[in-house]
Amino acid sequence: MRIMLLLVLTICCPGLLAQQVVATAGSTFDNSGRSITFTIGEGVAQTLTNGDLTLTQGFHQTTVSVKSISELKELDFSISVSPNPTSDFLKIKVTKEDVTGLQFLLLDINGKLILQKNLEGNETSLSIDKLTDGLYILMIKEGPKELKTFKVIKK
């Protein structure tokens, strides 16, 4: 009889099995048909990685993670972005003597151009403190040729 009652309640009242969380804060953001919902103060923290994708659940972590996602193979100089993590600026360092013709493009996840500038020298500082949280692409180019691309995550 108890099994029958449990079976009837499970089938007739699926709302009884809904997930719930007691959290201190949270919100939902919508952008271009996509949305993300989060809560702060969850009791479980876990990080899952699959290739270039990383999902951190649990406690809200305010960092910027920089990762190179493509690089031209025949470069005879290096391009790096640092510090990592950071919350206010990125430094683009190039070990090439003459940076004439080198530029950076900052794009949002949808490919919309946010900022495009020529490199100022071997070390260029890029302010990101006014950007909203999300995923950005930083591309270093020489004319039409893409030299190196970084994935920048601002949280």
* pLDDT per residue as tens, the chain (155 positions): 677 666 665 665 555 444 455 566 677 777 766 666 666 665 555 666 666 555 666 544 445 555 567 677 788 899 998 765 567 888 899 999 899 999 999 988 888 999 999 999 999 998 988 888 777 889 999 999 999 998 887 76
d(C-alpha 41, C-alpha 128), whole Å = 26
Residue 100 phi, psi (nearest 5): -60, 130
Helix ranges (H only) for the chain are 2-12
Distance CA(77)–CA(83), nearest Å, equals: 19
CA distance 18 to 54: 26
Question: Which one-letter amino acid corresponds to residue 28?
Answer: T
Put simply, whether the predicted model's pTM sits higher than 0.85 gets the answer no
- 147: its two tokens: 């030299």
Burial of 42 (0-12, 13-18, 19+ CB in 10 A): middle
Instruction: Give domain limits for the chain.
Output: 10-57, 64-154
Please give the structure tokens belonging to residue 32. Answer: 């271009």
CATH number of the domain located at residue range(s) 64-154 in this protein: 2.60.40.3080
User: Token pair for residue 134?
Assistant: 């999300």
